[in-house]
Structure 1
Amino acid sequence: MNLFKHCLIITFLATTFTMYGQTYFPKSEESPYIEVTGTAEQEVIPDEIYIAITIKEKYANRVKISIEEQESKLKEAIKSLGINLENLSLSDASADYVKIKWQKKDVLTSKDYTLKVSHASIVGQVFMELEKLEITEASISKVNHSKMDSLKKEIKIKAIKDAKDKADYLLNAIGEQTGKPLIVRENEIYPIRTLAAPLIKSSRSAANISYDATIEEESNEIQFQKIKLQTSIYVKFSIK
């Protein structure tokens, strides 16, 4: 019995020391830190402009004008503007013709193309050539920049530098210094392209294009709005 009592006493004391021992070592306070968000933006002129062109078989004086004939003339017109024919491709790799029923007696076909040009001034010239060829379905499908990946890297660097600058001047104001970054969280870059697709609606109105680009009346040159890149980066810095 005495041995049993001694065991109970020892177990009780060990448990008591363990419970109270936890209160003797409080958690250390978290190191001081500052949280900031750096931002950056940049505007660039698009140097990749994509023109969607649709060619359809048609009749002129009861004579069918084939897609092949119109395509040949289109290529000649493109070459005359100094545009590499490699910039002309079938849209969505759709090599098959789209069949269109016509008066239930014949089947007309159409093909969709995409033409890439590098400057807004060429766009106006392309539409003028399309007007001459009586190709009435053409529009700007999208715009982009050839160095978009590099531009995204540059703007991210600017954003994180902006975060560091913010931390520096805020802490300097209270006599503190910025320490090492503890957390860095970047937000996705969203290029802002305010462009609606233009459409030639008649063979006489190649310059009658409505979208968020503007046309200089004297030179007939299309001016596209710049692509705006915006990003932000959250950084948590320690305070020395």
Structure 2
Amino acid sequence: MEFMKRIILSVSSVLLAFASFAQIELPKPVSKTISVKGTAEMEVVPDEIHVLITLKEYEKKGKGKIDITSITNGFLNSIKKAGIADSSVKLVSMGGDSGYPWWKKKQQKDELYASKTYEIVFNSPARINALVDLLDDESTENFVIAEVTHSRINEYRKQLRIDALKAAKEKAGYLAAALDQTIGSALSVSESDNGFAVPVFANYMRSSMKESGNTSEPEFKKIAITMEMNAVFELR
């Protein structure tokens, strides 16, 4: 019996040693990879021009204050004459003030001058010119081009992501070839945090155009869209 116990203990010790060895993690072979960045660019002519126009009540000699209702009606009629669709126009804000800056409180009147700001989306500079010629100088307090973009910008960005990823793969291929190697599967793909450049356009001032008699269209530069994709490929 004593002999059998010794055999059992010896076998148990051997099994325990094997179990401990099995739990030891062997170092994994270092995988060879190549990390690259691909870029794709394109330029498009903007077809969405967002303009903010502020209308405000004012005093007219011999007639007193011209109210915001009359001003609004005249403005909306001008929009129709310019051939602008109702769906392209929206009211974004309303307000009122005394007509004087805050530091001239002694000159302020008790009466407020109401104002409205509209946003209009134009599809071409020619439409802007058509409306400019019809606007009332007295009631139009502000005319600002707020944004210039393209209606298919998301579609273009999607295609550029694909093109940038293809460019990354091509770059990885010829760099690997320079090392007498080839690329394998893509191990990871990520998009760089970037966007498209805001276009720079010619200074467009409604009053100066009317005074100078300049009827040419404002020149909008193309929108430059750039997309960058990062990729890691296996080296073989």
Shorter-chain TM-score category? Answer: 0.7 to 0.9
Give the superposition deviation at 1:52: 0.5
What residue in structure 2 maps to residue 214 of structure 1? none
| Other-structure match for 1:229 | 225
**133, 138, 147: which one aligns with 1:142:** 147
**Aligned-pair distance for 1:234?**
1.1
String of CA shifts for 1:165-216, please: whole Å, max 9, x gaps: 111212233333322212111224412114589685xx842469xxxxxxxx
Maintained 8 Å contact 1:47/1:118: yes
Instruction: Encode CA deviations 1:117-154: one digit per residue, 9 max, x unaligned.
Output: 01123334433433656513111111111001111111
Measured after TM superposition, the shift of residue 109 of structure 1 is: 0.8
The alpha-carbon distance between structure 1 residues 112 and 204, as it changes in their structure 2 partners (threshold 3 A), is closer
Contact 1:39–1:162 under 8 Å retained in 2? yes
Q: Please give the alpha-carbon distance, in whole angstroms, between the structure 1 residues aligned to 2:232 and 2:223.
A: 30
The residue that corresponds to 1:190 in the other structure is 195
**Structure 2 equivalent of residue 106 of structure 1:** 111
Instruction: Name 1:48's counterpart in structure 2.
Output: 48
**Secondary structure of residue in 1 paired with 2:98:** strand
Cα distance, 1:22 vs structure 2:
5.7
Preserved contact between residue 140 and residue 198 of structure 1 (Cα < 8 Å): no
Quick one: distance in 2 between partners of 1:131 and 1:41? 42
**How far, CA to CA, are the matches of 1:131 and 1:57 in structure 2?**
12
Q: Secondary structure at the match of 1:158?
A: helix
Distance 2:9 2:161 in 1: 66
* Per-residue Cα deviation, 1:93-128 (whole angstroms, up to 9, x for no partner): x4xx41323643322211111111011233344334
Is 1:60 the equivalent of 2:60? yes
Aligned residue in 2 for 1:88: 89
Do the aligned partners of residues 21 and 109 (structure 1) sit closer, same or farther apart at CA in structure 2, a change above 3 Å counting? Answer: closer
Contact 1:179 1:237 survives alignment (8 Å): yes
Q: Quick one: distance in 2 between partners of 1:150 and 1:194?
A: 18
What stretches of structure 1 of length at least 5 have no aligned partner? 209-216
Q: Distance in 2 between matches of 1:189 and 1:80?
A: 41
Residue identity opposite 1:99 in structure 2: G
Which digits, 9 at most, give the CA deviation of each residue in 1:12-43, with x for residues without a partner?
433333344567x8444244332211111222
Aligned to 1:17: 18
Distance in 2 separating the partners of 1:234 and 1:134: 53
Which structure 2 residues correspond to residues 144-163 of structure 1 after superposition, within 5 A? Answer: 144-163=149-168
The separation in 2 between residues aligned to 1:21 and 1:165, in whole angstroms, is 43
Structure 2 spans left out of the alignment, 5+ residues: 100-107
- How many angstroms apart in 2 are the aligned matches of 1:227 and 1:204? 27
Q: What is the CA–CA distance in structure 2 between the aligned matches of 1:37 and 1:5, rounded to whole Å? A: 66
How many residue pairs match? The answer is: 225
Mapped contact 1:193–1:226 kept (Cα < 8 A): no
State the TM-score, normalized to the length of structure 2: 0.79
The 1:6–1:207 alpha-carbon spacing in structure 2 relative to 1, beyond 3 Å, is farther
8 Å CA contact 1:41–1:229 kept in 2: the answer is: yes
Letter in 1 for 2:121: K
State the AA in 1 paired with 2:172.
A
